[in-house]
Amino acid sequence: MTIKVKICGIQTLEAAQAASDAGADFLGFNFVRSSKRYIRLETAKEIIEELKMEYSCHCEPRAKQSRPNVLKPNGIAAVRCTSDLAMTTNHRLQVKTVGVFQNEKLDLANKLISYLKLDYVQLHGNESPEYISLIQGTGIIKSFSLDADFDLEETMKKISKYKADYILLDRKKQGRGELLNLDKVSRLTKLFPIILAGGLYPENVSRVLSIAKPYAVDVAGGVEVNGKKDKEKIVQFIKLAKNYE
């Protein structure tokens, strides 16, 4: 099975295009205001709509695939549809959008999901199983923030309480490059559809996959330079993850 890849913390159209063109399966938009990767609601909507517009261009007859660039009021250029562009948007046809929320009010979360037309919502707080059951119109990724050497049995019990499409495992302490206990993670990946995050970089993703064997990997800071998404690192990370066997 080919490993799935989620590029999280998308803040620009350029980063979204680079990730989707490189073969990313999920794009994460962080709506947690305390996060350094927080994105304004309207900016995220503009990016998502621009990507979907490009999808539409891809599906139009070739005779219609020619129009000038249009600079929108927000400064995002609408991309000209050409046959060359159509060839570059194959991966964008399948990439899924993920909205990251943390302890958001349920009614507001459902409104935002509908407004943005999100494919998945990633719940990164203390949301209850009951809360998840009331999320409407989207897939569910439930995130668990763990200590590096987490209690395996306790974590299994917590995960088992939730009905989610995917389970994301991340570190409690961010920014130190420390990985979760990969041997323990490998036990969980045999039982649950695990998306593994925290401390991943192009330099270590192959080794991590060889031990943990998750369904997918999630990266944010590991593909950044000076706090900004770096196209070369994005491409390198996705290539290494996808080529792992």
For 148-180, the pLDDT digits (tens) are: 999 999 999 999 999 999 999 999 876 566 899
Mean of pLDDT values over 216-242: 97
Residue 175: what pLDDT? 59
What is the four-CA torsion angle of 30, 36, 37, 38, rounded to 10 degrees? Answer: 50
Residue 148: what pLDDT? 94
pLDDT band, residue 54 (cuts 50/70/90): low
**3-class state of residue 169 by DSSP:** strand
Residue 92: what pLDDT? 61
Dmax (CA) of the chain: 59
SS (H, E, C) 67-115: CCCEECCCCCEECCCCHHHHHHCCHHHCCEEEEEECCCCHHHHHHHHHH
Q: What share of the chain is helix, strand, coil (3-state, %, to 5)?
A: 40, 20, 40
What is the tens place of the pLDDT at every residue in 81-99?
A: 444 444 455 566 689 999 9
Domain 4-243 has CATH 3.30.420.40: no
Is 109 within 8 Å of 101 (Cβ atoms)?
A: yes
Residue 125: what pLDDT? 96
Is 185 within 8 Å of 210 (Cβ atoms)?
A: no
The model's pTM is 0.85
